[in-house]
Structure formats: structure tokens, C-alpha cells
Structure 1
Amino acid sequence: MKKSQRWMQLLNILLEEKNFLTVAQLAKQVEVSTRTVHSDLQDPGFLQLLHGAELIKKPNIGIRLSCTEKQKEAIYRQLQKHCFEVSEPVENDNDMHTILNMLLKSSSSIKLDNFAAALYRSKSSLAPVLEQVEQLAEKYNCSLMKKANYGISLEGKEDDIRNLFYHYVEALPIQKSQHNDLDIRLPDELYQRMRLMFDDQTIRLMIPIVKASEINLNTHYCDYDFGMLILKCCILIVRCQLGRFMQQHPSIQADLQEYYVATIMKLKIEQVFHITIPEQEIYYLERVIISTRKQYNQEQFQDFDNVMLDKFIQLVSERLNVDLFDDPQLKQNLSNHMKPAIRRMKYGISSENPLLEAIKTKYTEVYVAIMTTIDKIEEKEHIYFDANELGFICLHIVSALNRSSNIRAIHCLLICDAGITFEAYIKSMVESAFREIEIVQTIRSHEMTTEMERAYDLILNSTKHRLHAPNIINIDHLFTESSSSQIRHWIFAREIKHTLELRTLFDSYLCYFQDNCEDRTSLIHTYCSYMVDNGYVTEDFEESVYDRIRYSSTAIGRGVAVPHGTKKAVLNSVILIIKLSNAIAWDDQLVDLVFFAAIGEDISTEYSKIFRRIVRIVSDDEQTYMLKSCNSLEEIRKFLFDTEQKM
């Protein structure tokens, strides 16, 4: 350990301990010999760090630091300066990390000589590394300010710089995940990354402050957000120590519960870390607290418009061709999530979703279904959900889909006269062999009515009385292989019938284009104009497309984008398939295949099936590649329906 680090550790121990400590106790905590501690405590350099405070020494008792409040604050500022301004390379082989680390924790410009010394390289070789740093900074609306004879500094709005700081720490490379001994809720990998930027004492002292905010809110943060809040508070301490403060956010109300909790947190941070935090930082803390997701929500967030929620679940069910409507757990989970999510969107606060890209890739079909059906809730609440929130909602739907009762799309009636033992046997055999079938009712043969025949997708008749109708299968009450074969044949015939019906309607719903548009704006304008001219949408549709992409990316991965606008502006539903000769930038992705969706209020079942079939294909890497190789509507038609029969 360097002498300067050891001195700072000794200062920190003496400041925190009110009782006398022996030299042996100090030596043990600093992990050096007693001789070294004696030498340090007498060193003029160390004594200068005390800012006039006195070391009281009593023989056979120990040593204690005696200081005024003013002297204590000066020593704490010295400690903070050491912790936050003295940068060490984050990783020896990553020069970009070292430079960014230095810039984020510096109160003034840094000269090239300092960078060169930290990296052990010449000034002339720094240009490529600085360019890397600048490219990363620009992603967060920041820049490097270069001034002759002064050096380089990181410039931008404080909100953007803290956002860069946060994502920089999250992306820091670590050798191997190790368990932290501070708190089980603090993710181990995040803790290791934080240790590369902050000392253990800072992290340790922030944990009880964050936990106290949970008590004041009468809730618990999710583990990921628990760690996120600790990290953002550590960043706040660094930036305030440098004299870099947030601007006030007038859009946030001062009468919210989170505002009062943020005020308490500010006062506690000032007290524990001996720094002065301006009032506007309360709004920053308030925004961070609002952005967190809770393990359970406060009482005022429990009620949500059930009618609106039911409609959303119904639309998602139709889009995915499943029945989620009777899943009480899904309704409860969505209700608990929606209210605080809507509140976050109203204040323009995003809750970081660490799984977003994985969700888009793995659950593309579900993500697109949500993205194209949630507009009713958005219109009612006058908001747009961002991609992070759509991803969280997607996880709730995926959880519901994984519950076996929700993947059964064929509602079935069983007619059985052989008693409850055979009823239970046939039901278990059918539902285990055919996951898409759910036997929702069992009756005796004399109870059968014409209304029942029309009410069910499929009727299985295991009695001796043979019945005849397109949706009735007469099976053996022992459910032999012949019975199973009959059901498979009926399901296959049903799918073939649906496929033939879709083939005839295919051209009325899809249009195909090949284009060489150079950017997203020109593509959207060109094809919105096409849809207006051909009576698919009104002129308001284009603006609603831009409203959507301003808040949430419509790029879904694999080089595919699904832009769409409000249902209110759709006259006739249509899907434009646009194949681009060159990929164009679409938010943070490159896109070369666009499905421009105009989805109306009176969307038909056939349109939903075609849309679902397309999205299912672009959920798979290989199928997406094959779809992109199609060069005409006829090739796409053949590919879509041939693929469906193989899947």
C-alpha cells in the first residue's frame, strides 16, 4: 500500500473513532507494523493533513483525534479529494477506461502530460485513445473540451455526464465475480465495478442511507435498483465534491412522497460524508427514487383501470393467439406494475432495464405484440411507454405464457358417460398429448345441446352415441392410438384451412417494396405519404409514428424495425414490407428490413394471423435471413406459408 493511501486510511479511522485506540489496534486495521504507524503519526506530511487538529496521546491508553467541526470538515474534504480525484488505471490494458476515469473525477482540465504519465505512454500516441473516449462521450450528449495550455475536460449537461458515469461504471470489465460482504442485496458484479471507482467506506456508508429510504417509502426496491440507487448516490457525492451540480427539474413536484424521502437522504449524505449538497440535488434524488421498481408498491399505486387492463390483455391474447384473459396472476402483476410505470413516464423518468436487448431478441413476438397493442393505455394516460417499460411488461406476459394453462388455444368439450374416473383419465391424456387443447367442461351425452356445439372449438365424444359435426371427434373411452391420431388429423386440417384462408387474403393486407432510402426520416415520410394516397391512413398518422419513436425505439433486432402509428389515424389496416438496399441507422441499430404497420381499431382476425406469422419468423435468426432474401411479394407469400407448415 502506498504511503498516501495508508495515511488516508489512518485519518479515516481516527475521524470515525471517538474512543482512544492503541497503536497496535491502528496497525492491525491498516495492516502494517506498529513501528510504521508510530513513524506515520510523527511524519510532518501526515500532521499537515490534520488541518490544525490535535492528536491526543495517553500512555498505556492510546491515541485520539481532537478537532473542531470546521477542522473535521477540512479533513473530510481531504479524504474525498483523495478518493475521488486521484485516479488509478481501472485496468492496465484498457487505456480508454483510465482516461475516462480521470475525466469523470477531475474538477479541472487535465493536461496531456498527466494522461501520458498515467498510461505510461507518449503524448503523441494518445490521439486514438482520446478519440475512443470522445465517441463514447458523444453517445451520452457529452464532449471533450480541448484548450491549448490548459488541457482536456469533459463537458456537457450534468444530467448527461452522470448518465455517462453510471453506464461507464456498469460496463467496467472485471476479472471474476466475487461475493461481497456488505449486503446480500447488492449485486456482486456491480459491487466489484463500484470498487474500481469508489472506496469501500463510501459504498458501505451509502447502504444504510438507501435502506432508510425504503423504510420511509414503506416499500423495498428490487435488488437491481437497490444497487443502482447506491451507485447513483456515490456518483452524486463525487460530482458534488467537484462542485458539479444538477439543474433543477421543474417538471417534478415537490409535494410527492419521494421528494420528502429525497430531502432526508440529502441531509443524511451531508451528515455522513461531510459535504454540502445544494437544494436542486433533491430533485435529482427524487427522480432516481421514482425510477426504481419496488418489490411491492405503495397503497396508492395498487388500483388500476381494470377495464383498460382487461382490454390490453385481450388484445395481446389475440395477437399471440393464446388465452391470457383468465389469468388472475397476470392481471395482478400488470396492475402492480402499470401505475408506477405510468407515473415514471409522466415525469419523463426511465427505469433501466438490464435485460432489454435480450428480451427483444429472445421474445421478439411478445415484445412486438405489446408494442402494437398498448396504445389505448398510452392514449388514456397521455404518455408513451419507453422501450425499458415495454421490456418489463414483456416479462410479465412471458411469465404468463410459461404457465401451462395459458398456452391452450383450443377450447374443448368432453362428452363422457363412463364415470368420473374415465373423465379424469381422458382429460389428462388429451391435455398431456396436445398442449394447445384445454378441456374446459365435461358433460353426459343427454346434456348435449346445439348451443354447446357452437360454443366450443372442439368436442370429444367418448360415448357410444356417435355424433357428427365439423368440430366433433368420436373417440374411444380408453383413448387409444386411433383416438390420438384422429385429434392430430383434425388439428392439421384446421391449420390447413386457416392457411388457405390467409392465402386468399394475403395480397389485401401486404404490400412489398424495395428501396434505397438513405435515412429513417425519408423512409417514414415516403411510405406514410403512400398510405395516405392509397386510403390506408389519414395525414395524422405520420406525426403519431414520430411520437412513438421519440419515446421508444421500434427497432427489434436482427436488422428489423416495426414502425407504427395510432389506430385512430388508420382507415384500412395494412403492412408495408420494405427491403432496403443499404442498411440505415435506426436509433442505436442498423436496419435493412422494415415492416410498416398500420393497425386499425377494427383489426380482423386474418390480419392478426398474418402479422403474427411475420413477427414469428423475424424472431429467428435463420428465418429472418431467408425472409430478407425474398425479392417479391410472391416469394414472401410462399416463404411465409411454407415456413408455417414446417414450424
Structure 2
Amino acid sequence: MNERQYKLARMLIDHDNFLPTSFYSKKLLVSTKTVYQDLEALKLFMKPYAIQIKRLPSVGIKLIGEEQEKRAFITAIEDCLNMDNYSPNIRRLRIIKDVCLEKETPTLEKLSKRFMVSKTSLYNDIKHINQIISHNEVVLSSNSEGLVVNGSEFLVQKALKQLIFHYSTILSNNSFKENLDNFFEIELIDNVYKLLLEDLYDLTTKVSDYYIRSLITNLLIQFRRLEIGHHLTAEESFLFSSIHYMETYSVANEIIAELEKKMNLHFDDNDKEYLSRQLFAHRITNNLKVDNEKYTDIVYRLIERMSTIEKIDLTQNEHLFNSLLYHIPAMVLRLKKGIRIENPLLESIKSQYSELFSIVWYALVIIEKEYDVILNDDEISLILIHFQIALDSQSKANNILIVCQHGVSSAQFIYSKIRRFIPARDNVEISTLEKLEKADPTDIDLIITSLDINHPMIPYVKVTPLVNSDDYVRMMEAYTKYLIKGEKFGEVNTLQSNVASPTLLKFMDPDLIRLSVKVDSKEECLDLMISELERMGHVNKRFRKSVCDREKLGNTNLESGAALPHADPSTVITSHIFFLSLKNAINWGDRNIKLVIMINLCEKDILEIRDVVEELYHFIENEESVDVMSNITKPEEILKLFSSEGD
């Protein structure tokens, strides 16, 4: 029972005549569908009482029964709500909703009356909430207007997701969808579920439960924040990183078109880009289902044409074929109907990929002739994205960044010099020092700069603004050393890789080694790992609760930056070790961690736990070792490390 349902019950008692459901929906600011759902909930709750909801077609609804029974009914609802309000976790959950997901700013006075607690208790609640999201640079605070959340919109949404996962873990007796009902209106939840699981079924059918739950949460947060007027700001990122998530841009536009019709939401360019990033991060584009035979021939001819021009065989690239087969029919329909889709990266793409842009335009002539349409620059650039991703995957393109202190002209001069000796497939981008410091540097392979930049993990070459012969030699040496030979930069190997670990290897599985995984919180990380183990059948239904219960008892992290979550052996079906390194460190109780190793031995193997732990601690006993392990990029390197063959 929730407060909206209580208000509906109160109105039914106050109005002793038949009224249409539209009357109640307007009063409660929800759809008639939601009113009907709430009526069903009230019917279940009123079974012990001699009252009933009577409905007359084309007339309305009315509560029938004696006043004494009605009073007993409403008192029971109030008692139920009061019990919930006295629970600190439910109270904190509702504070989060009021502060972050409602238009009206709540005050301490109103919350104190509502929950019947002192302001001191509320300050403790705020402190507790802030501790959960402490590493997100977001904070709840009280000012003259009331309780507010401070932080960039991107970080606020990230913190909200962490809080939702946190309280969903605590309220583990409910289903995931029921837990979402604590934060969002049923209508919004139903819209998002229908959108992902019905309208976009072909795209989501093979996506794991973890990614679906995670994406549903992200979308609910973004859409609700948009409803109350909060838009995202532009993220600092490099074009060679951004171009990958733009593969989902047309899918994002489909979703936006549906939502703008259904919910009257307005998305600006930054909101669209963020939605594209979320779809890409949740692996939506990797599961395109091909069923449009009508366009099969033209797509194959286009790929064949590009293969001939680029002198590289792309005809066997299944992902490229499926992506284009999904994209092109919708593109042709847009062009025939005069619907224009805008690519926010258009100018950057035309500048950095000018040669490929011209080639793609030339290749697309066959589509213009076939369907009697004229392609605009935005559509050409969106097709280019699919081909650039395919070219990157088939002939590894390096990402090189130029950072200068003398402005764009100096950087452009260095750019022209570099382009003379590096392969055309490599991506070269000009950046400022400020952008380098703010953006995610993960995808950068080499920095060429006229500044003193001492980046610990990215190879860099310092050159003079005019690039003399000595600079050429240094650039070519760095390119050969780091990008051709693949030598590691700035990595001091402190691992005792000469130590054989036979017991570790016995329980290691290449399918349970996940590297550079991007999650935002401990709860999200555990959900991902547990969901995968459930899917693979390695654990039983009690495993999830066992892991969560163990985490509540105390931190399972080490000072070195690794975490070792585990469960009751009786919940493990097949013994295994799940190894997961993180793209970005996350908070795990009282410190940040980069590595999560879940050791799960069933009852019959429990006697081997000592050997497993002893062997593992050789590799995670200090921070330097954990740093090195978290930077390994291939599962086979992890397995080799645990064998006596490591060097």
C-alpha cells in the first residue's frame, strides 16, 4: 500500500456518489490506467471489511458500505503506512524520491511532520544517504529553500542509480519491478518495460537480465529527471571514443520519438547523446536481429563496394552487415517522408574523417539510385560510423592525441607532419590539456605534445611546435615501440608470476574472467556477477541472498584494492572463481577497489579453500600488484600469470 492509494481510498470515502475514473486521475495527476491498478490493490486490502467498490459503465465508481466499516478500512491503511514510515530504510528511500525525483522541494519541517520524527533523525538520514554516494561528488544538503541535491546532472543520475540498487538489495524480498515502484510512477515503469521488452524486443531479446535491469534503471532515472526539467550537459570525450556509441544513435532516436509522443518529454542533443551511450554500454547494438530480406541485396552491394574502395574485405563482417540492415530501411523511410535526423558529431566527423566521408558518400550513390532519395550529410555521417567501427575492428586503428599550448594553428601543423608517416587507418585528434584532464583517457594509444605531460599510463612524445628532424625520430621510435611492438608503458611488474598456482587454475574458467568492466557501484558490480553465475547455472537461488547478507556483516575488501565477496558453500552448485577487473575504481565500503575476485567453492571442494586463498594472496597482497593485474587486457594473460609459465 502506498500514499497515492491511500489518497484514492480517502477520496472514495469523502465522495458518496458515482464519479468517473477520470475525476480521480486528474486529482492524483496519474493516468486512468494507474487508477484502475490502484483500485485493484484497494480491493485486495478491503477483503476483511464489509465494503466494496461498485462500478457502473459510463457512470463511474463508488465505495459501498457502512460508515463504520469504511472508517476501519481507512484506519488499517493508515496503520500500514505508519509502520512503513517508521522504518528508517523506507523513510530514507522516500527522502531520496522527494529530493531527486519530484518537482517540489521538500523542507525538513514537512518531512518531520510526515514521518513523525525529529529533525535530528532526518539529518542522520541525510548523512547516511550521503555516505552511500560519497565517492560520486554528489551530496544532499539543506538550505533556506529545503532539501536539495548538489552535483552535475550526470553525477546525480549516477548516484541515484547507486541508491536504487542499494535499497533494492536491502528490500530483497520484493521483485526488481516492485522495488522500482518505490521510486517511480507505475505508468512510467510500464512504459519503459514495454519499450524495451516489447517494442525493441529484437534488440533486447538476447541481452542478459543484469544489463536489462541496469538499462531500465538508467532510462527511468533519465526520463523522470527530464519530466521535472533536468537536462544533461555535454560530456568531455574524444571523437574516436564517441564514434562507437553513436552506432546506437538511430535506435536512440526511435526511443525518443515514442517517448515524445507518449509522455511529452523534450530531449536536447546532450540528452540524446547520453541515451545513445547508455544503449551502447548495455550492449543493445550487439544483438541486432536481421529479418528485413528486402534490403539484404543492397546492403551486401554497399559493403562490397566499400571493400573494393578501401582494399579490405568487409563482406565477412556480420556485425557490420546486421547493423546496416537495421539502419538503412529506417533511413530510406526517413528520407522519403522528409524526416531529418541530426548527428551532433557531424562537424567533427567531417573534419577528422573527411577522406572516409567522401568515400562513403560515393559508395552510397547506389542507395540514392535504388530508392530515388538524396542523402544529406547527417545520414552519410551515421552510415560512416558503422564502416569506421568495422575498419577499426579489422585493422586495429591506433588513437593518437595531439596536445599543444600554442593554439589550433600549432596543433594543425603538427597534425599535418604526423599524417605523413602514420597509416591512414589511425585516428589522430587535436585536444586541449583541459579536455585531456577531464575526458576518459582509456582509448588513447599515444600522446604527441609540445607540453610537459607526465601521464603514468599513456605513452607520450614531447616535440617542438615546428617539428624538427629530431622530433620525427622520437615520434617514429615511440610509434614503433608502443603501437607496433606493443611494449607496455609506465608499468612496473611487481607480480610474483614465477609462483605456480595449480589450485587457482583448477577453478579458473576463461568465461568467468571479465576485464575492464564498467560499473558505478558495489551493488551494481555484485548484481552483474551474481546474474551471470545464475545464468550459467553455477549457483542456486539462495546464492544472491547469501552474498548480500555476507556483505552486510562487514567489508570484504583488502587494503591492496581488491575485494573478495563470497557466499555460503551450500549455495554453490559448481566450484569456480570469478575474476573481474574494473575500468574505473568503485567504492566498496571503506575504500575504493579495482579488482573483484569471487571465490565460490561447493561443499565437496571446501577443503581446498586454504590453498586457493594462499595462492591468490601472492598476487593481491599489495596495491602495486593489484594495479598491474587490473591493467591486464586479455583473459589468457591472467591464466598465464597463474601458471608457472608466467615471466
| TM-score, with length taken from structure 2 | 0.40
| Structure index of larger Rg | 1
